């Protein structure tokens, strides 16, 4: 009997320890105090269950918006919960390829670290440079330290207001605490519907490498638009994305 009690307590500890550790930080405490009711209100309005959800973050640079998608426990499709505007932007359309280029990355990423004591209020770090970036970016100085964060300044990150990063950070903590080890973050230049890459090519005159890169992102965008499901994405020898 003692053995089973120990195992049960251990499992509970494992499930709640990430959130508990985050709540030791005063900014995270404030985020929960101010925003948990607000965030739960979004779920109620959209008729989405708050219990045990997974999170997907999608960003569009041209529109300068971040979308928050939720997959309820026991379901296989995501539903749009809320949309947040960037509060500042940097660079132009096209992927990040070098340290200091002020570009916001484009591609398929995931949240790799939580920083509740950031210089930019609260920060969620993405895994730039990823495998694709390491192939296509400057080999010695590709850059790094890319975050979704507060404090409306950026030289390549995605900034939200301090007020809104509280909500996104809280959602990410909840998802991680629910057992979601990797929270996907997809960053697109625009909504890559048919004809959009050609339109961007005329408007921004990108290099052929960038156009080819956008074309490899297009099926990822369109598949999710059609299915509201996330497929595993691979990276080819030339840095292109594919299923």
Tens digits of residue pLDDT in 163-182: 999 999 999 999 999 999 99
Could you tell me which residues come within 8 angstroms of residue 184 by beta carbon, excluding any fewer than 6 positions away? 56, 57, 108, 109, 110, 230
Backbone angles phi, psi at 234, to 5 degrees: -110, 165
**Residues 67-93: pLDDT tens digits?**
999 999 999 999 999 999 999 999 999
Mean pLDDT of 8-37: 83
Q: What pTM value is reported for the model?
A: 0.92
Query: Each residue of 104-133: pLDDT tens digit?
Result: 999 999 999 999 999 999 999 999 999 999
Among residues 82, 87, 157, 186, which one is catalytic?
Answer: 157
Catalytic residue among 141, 149, 152, 186: 149
Active site residue 87: no
């Amino acid at each position: 009997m003692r053995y089973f009690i120990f195992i049960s307590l251990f499992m509970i500890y494992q499930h709640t320890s990430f959130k508990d550790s985050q709540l030791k930080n005063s900014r995270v405490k404030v985020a929960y105090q101010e925003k948990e009711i607000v965030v739960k209100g979004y779920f109620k309005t959209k008729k989405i269950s708050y219990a045990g959800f997974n999170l997907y973050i999608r960003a569009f640079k041209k529109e300068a918006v971040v979308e928050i998608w939720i997959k309820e426990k026991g379901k296989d499709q995501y539903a749009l919960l809320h949309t947040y505007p960037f509060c500042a932007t940097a660079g132009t359309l096209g992927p990040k390829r070098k340290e200091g280029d002020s570009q916001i990355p484009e591609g398929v990423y995931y949240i790799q670290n939580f920083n509740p004591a950031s210089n930019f209020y609260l920060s969620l770090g993405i895994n730039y440079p990823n495998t694709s970036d390491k192939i296509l970016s400057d080999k010695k100085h590709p850059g790094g330290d890319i975050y979704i964060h507060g404090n409306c300044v950026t030289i390549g990150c995605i900034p939200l207001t301090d007020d809104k990063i509280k909500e996104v950070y809280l959602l990410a903590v909840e998802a991680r605490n629910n057992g979601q080890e990797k929270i996907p973050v997809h960053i697109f230049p625009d909504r890559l519907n048919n004809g959009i890459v050609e339109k961007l090519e005329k408007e921004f005159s990108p290099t052929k490498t960038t156009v080819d890169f956008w074309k490899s992102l297009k099926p990822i965008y369109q598949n999710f638009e059609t299915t509201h499901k996330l497929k595993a994405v691979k990276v080819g020898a030339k840095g292109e994305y594919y299923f």
